[in-house]
Structure 1
Amino acid sequence: MRRHPLAALLAIAIPLLSAAEDGELKGAKRPGPVQPDIYNDPVSPPPAPRRGGDLTFAEQVSFRSLDPDQDNSATTSELVHGYILESLVGSDQETWAERDGLATRWVIEDTLLLQDGSLLRGRVVQSPDGVTLDGTPVPKERIREVRLGTAFTFHLRKDVVFHNGQPFTARDVAFTWKLLRDPRNGMPSIQNYIQDISECTVLDDYTVRLVYNRQYWMALSVVGGYMYIRPHKAWDPDGLIDSDPDAFFKKLNEHPLLLKPIGTGPYQLDSLKKDFEVVLKRFDRYWDPVRTPQWPDRIRVRIIKDVNAQLQALRNGEIAYVPTMPPEIFDQFFEDPANARRFAAVENIYPAMGYIGWNHRRAIWKDKRVRWAMSHGAVDIDKFIREVLKGRAERVTGDFYRYSPSYNPDLKPIPYDPEKAADLLAEAGWWDSNNDGILDKDGKPFQFEMLIRDMPPTMPAIQMLLQMQQNLKKLGIRMEIKQLEWGAFLEKIERGDFDACRLGWALSSPPSRQDCFQIWHSSQIGEKGSNHLAYANPELDRLLEDCRRELDAAKRRDLEFRIQRLLYDEQPEIYLYMPAEHRAYDKAWRNVKFYVPRPGHALNEWSRIAP
């Protein structure tokens, strides 16, 4: 799965949302209309939106890059996508349906791979009598493979310009395809999707055809939505990607546009002060201001690592929006009547899931009995949700969105059972042979380091690890907690230089379209690969590949359930809970909507009405 607009992303382990009486999280969970200002004081008649003002919000972590494919963290992608960079196909935040984007329309065709290696394109009909292409029979003996829905011809808008004034054309699509597909780009999380797009043909300035070399149920979502289009003249003025690709990719990591992106979106980069602030300003030549309004003059992202400092900045009027905070701090903040009068209290679902991951490069995690022991004995997740998160979370047992048909409801959360954990460890050969209080096996003590990004001790993720540390100590396991600054943390994760980690995946946007290939297929193991836990299983690989090829939704659902069952049985990580988000914003801002698909807000829609 990835971040915007489809699959999942590496994200911080974040706090959650309040639960309804039936045990589910509050708020919308599925597609549907979203009303503005439901968290604000009612006003009649509703004020009309208007342009003006700077909308400043806080972010806890800084940016290594502002390119959403080089830095695939949710923080970067959620800032850049939809504001700076755009794709050929968009996604409606309310209906979750695909809609026109930089392409006004598209034609989808099938392909036939013939025995001689040539490719035919058109409308394929298969029947017991044979195969026809656009009504013409094709002898079966000539066909090597039938690929349904694999050729996409996009008709592009002619009124779009990039932020630097250059016109958007099909050549920008072709350049982006070449950039993202090449294994030298250092962007494996996107490359695993784009690498199967084997052909990109510029038919004219405003028509481009992209062809997949294999059948894939999410092909339109990927080819239309995953490629954030870059201006080829700004990225590659000398045409090196064609004439000397080695030279182009050798210098790619130093390219200035990685920190100064140029796109076609409603906002363009105004300034960047690393580790302090990113400022976007309205792009006055934007092509779609009606469907995508640009009410704020500027959108400012202020880096404030401590949540309490963020809330103080909110009170002081330095920022207008705190997009995430722990439930306890949220409750305390809104217990103050003055805060409740000035700021809106928001609780809504955030489609993500937290986990504790084991680095399977380490011998200690090779034994499934040990992993099951950790799932039973590391942390009492139900108690943690009840006492620390105030009941504001919902446990999950797999990677799929909790409220989608793809989620397997037959898999029940694993109960906290330290006695069962101790039995499994003993069965796996872990004993305290020298009475030092630490289990050992073959002369090696059971000890490991848990990696997490640096955050205050009030954050739920840290509180969970402290509880886990004590629980494991009782089982005879020594766990050390190591906190690192976000960039250094991600570097260790990407290199596979860790024993275990506390992290989370931000799910697809919209969360109804998910593909676990990116995070679990063995081909995604490696530096910067999303399978950073290095879990490899040939049966899982086969299921993931079959799932990608399956176009029938019911058959694909069966494969998705089998994928989740296998991962549940193997326990390569501890699945924790699905988050909801606690937010606070200044009530002076109106026309505020909160959506289910990430990031949950569209800041370009917010309008400052009150002074």
Structure 2
Amino acid sequence: YTFTEWNVGNFIRFDANPNYTLGQPKIGTLLIRFFGDDETYVNSLIAGEISIATFFDWSYAPRIEEAGITVQAIPSGYNEGWVFNTGENGHPALDDVNVRKAVALSFDKLAITEDLFYGATYPGSSFWEATPFANPDLEGYGYDPEMAAQLLDEAGWVDSNSDGTRDQDGVELVLRFVTNTRPIRAETIGPIVQQQLGEVGILVELVSYPSDQYFGGYAENGPIATGQYDIAEWSSAPGSFPDPDVRAFRCDEIPTPDNPSGSNWSFYCDQALTDLFIEQQQETDRDTRIALFHEIDQMIYDAAIWISIWFDADSWAVAANLSADVNGVSPFWDVQNWDISG
């Protein structure tokens, strides 16, 4: 397609390129329209004014499907997850893997996906969810407050002073849950985390920052990069998705004054895990690389340093009269073969 018009605030127009190397596209003109709010966007889709839509709120999915329009959850590489701070600025309880597991088991992730996303997505088990690199034998950390309480008891975190918060050696189990100011995290998820972890004796302090500050690097004194948190939540993806390579779990990526660009904001170091990440980078056989990632995935899961909260797929809706194959890497990759009827 060739760019032919940009009507600022309304649409961008592309017309079929008759000289395209793979043949002339079947649809003569594409209009990419802009909408100021989801309600207008979805109403236009249902009314047949547009044929394909993406990035609408999942709460609209039932209405869209009732109109006979197919709703799809398309993998984007992103997964909403918790990162635990195992560094020197984190709570000492989080040095214990069983405490990290207990925290994960204290939060009802399935209820979140059912209530907020209408079951359109789900709590995952892998940083590489819904790809061949995800270990198929893993099951996500479910909601089991009784097991969480047992793990905390066994780890020596008990409420010795009857104030409602577990403690050990005079240290209260008070965790900072830190997010950006995006409403779904700061205003919806945060209070639920505070309530549910409180039910097992973990006091949660809620802290949020504007995104530019929240995601600031070590040199910018970003709160996550400098370890000013205990649990942090955001959506992550491999930097070169669909390639699975990630550096954020490696020892050599821990940020320091000498390594301010480091991306390992959990400050967790397992040299064996780092070695596997380096090995997969150098591996050219796909099946061998997949096997290495399954091993990596198992180690991350067992260490409970990153916990999937939900599989963060993109929302797409395709009208019944449109034949279009989309994906989360490059939605228009096959656009020359899209076709519309009626």
TM-score, normalised with respect to structure 1: 0.44
Distance 1:373 1:462 in 2: 23
Match of residue 310, structure 2, among 566, 570, 577: 577
Distance 2:313 2:56 in 1: 10
Q: Secondary structure at the match of 1:534?
A: coil
Distance 2:5 2:30 in 1: 5
Match of residue 448, structure 1, among 175, 187, 190: 175
**What residue in structure 1 maps to residue 268 of structure 2?**
535
The reply on whether 1:419 has 2:152 as its aligned counterpart is no
Structure 1 residues 553 and 350: CA distance shift in structure 2, 3 A: closer
Report the AA paired with residue 210 of structure 2. Answer: E
The reply on whether 1:475 has 2:205 as its aligned counterpart is no
The reply on whether 1:366 has 2:123 as its aligned counterpart is no
Deviation at 1:521, TM superposition (A): 0.9
Report the AA paired with residue 95 of structure 2. Answer: K
The reply on whether 1:327 has 2:58 as its aligned counterpart is yes
Paired residues of 1:449 and 1:482 also in contact (CA < 8 A): yes
Deviation at 1:473, TM superposition (A): 0.8
The reply on whether 1:349 has 2:77 as its aligned counterpart is no
Distance 1:296 1:482 in 2: 48
Paired residues of 1:296 and 1:604 also in contact (CA < 8 A): no
Distance 1:606 1:452 in 2: 42
Matches within 5 A, 1:427-442: 427-442=154-169
Paired residues of 2:101 and 2:304 also in contact (CA < 8 A): yes
**What residue in structure 1 maps to residue 219 of structure 2?**
none
Distance 1:281 1:390 in 2: 34
Match of residue 514, structure 1, among 239, 244, 257: 244
Report the AA paired with residue 564 of structure 1. Answer: D
Matches within 5 A, 1:205-224: none
Q: Percent identity?
A: 23
Q: CA offsets per residue over residues 53-107 of structure 1, 9 Å max, x none? A: 5488xxxxxxxxxxxxxxxxxxxxxxxxxxxxxxxxxxxxxxxxxxxxxxxxxxx
Structure 1 residues 334 and 483: CA distance shift in structure 2, 3 A: farther
Deviation at 1:478, TM superposition (A): 1.6
Matches within 5 A, 1:241-320: 290=21, 309-312=37-40
Paired residues of 2:124 and 2:310 also in contact (CA < 8 A): yes
Paired residues of 2:245 and 2:281 also in contact (CA < 8 A): yes
Report the AA paired with residue 311 of structure 1. Answer: E
Q: CA offsets per residue over residues 168-209 of structure 1, 9 Å max, x none? A: xxxxxxxxxxxxxxxxxxxxxxxxxxxxxxxxxxxxxxxxxx
Deviation at 1:540, TM superposition (A): 0.9
**What residue in structure 2 maps to residue 77 of structure 1?**
none
**What residue in structure 2 maps to residue 485 of structure 1?**
210
Q: Secondary structure at the match of 2:198?
A: helix
Paired residues of 1:449 and 1:498 also in contact (CA < 8 A): yes
Distance 1:328 1:402 in 2: 22
**What residue in structure 1 maps to residue 298 of structure 2?**
565
Structure 1 residues 499 and 592: CA distance shift in structure 2, 3 A: farther
Q: Secondary structure at the match of 2:151?
A: helix
Structure 1 residues 532 and 604: CA distance shift in structure 2, 3 A: farther
CA RMSD of aligned residues (A): 4.3
Report the AA paired with residue 356 of structure 1. Answer: W
Q: Secondary structure at the match of 1:544?
A: helix
Report the AA paired with residue 503 of structure 1. Answer: W
Distance 1:506 1:356 in 2: 13
Paired residues of 2:65 and 2:71 also in contact (CA < 8 A): no
Distance 1:541 1:290 in 2: 43
Distance 1:329 1:461 in 2: 22
Structure 1 residues 428 and 507: CA distance shift in structure 2, 3 A: same
Deviation at 1:324, TM superposition (A): 1.8
Distance 1:604 1:553 in 2: 28
**What residue in structure 1 maps to residue 230 of structure 2?**
499
Larger gyration radius, structure 1 or structure 2: 1
What is the count of residue pairs matched by the alignment?
320
Paired residues of 1:385 and 1:391 also in contact (CA < 8 A): yes
Paired residues of 1:524 and 1:530 also in contact (CA < 8 A): yes
Gaps of 5+ in 1: 1-48, 57-276
Deviation at 1:509, TM superposition (A): 5.9
Paired residues of 2:179 and 2:185 also in contact (CA < 8 A): no
Report the AA paired with residue 360 of structure 1. Answer: T
Report the AA paired with residue 482 of structure 1. Answer: V
Match of residue 396, structure 1, among 118, 121, 124: 124
Structure 1 residues 297 and 495: CA distance shift in structure 2, 3 A: farther
Distance 2:185 2:166 in 1: 28
Report the AA paired with residue 283 of structure 2. Answer: E
Report the AA paired with residue 497 of structure 1. Answer: Q
Q: Secondary structure at the match of 2:141?
A: coil
**What residue in structure 1 maps to residue 327 of structure 2?**
596
Between stretches 442-451 and 546-555, larger displacement belongs to 546-555
The structure with more strand, counted as a fraction of residues: 1
Deviation at 1:541, TM superposition (A): 1.2
**What residue in structure 1 maps to residue 105 of structure 2?**
376
Distance 2:182 2:12 in 1: 27
Structure 1 residues 594 and 488: CA distance shift in structure 2, 3 A: farther
Deviation at 1:472, TM superposition (A): 0.5
Deviation at 1:454, TM superposition (A): 2.3
Deviation at 1:580, TM superposition (A): 3.0
Structure 1 residues 331 and 601: CA distance shift in structure 2, 3 A: farther
Paired residues of 1:451 and 1:483 also in contact (CA < 8 A): yes
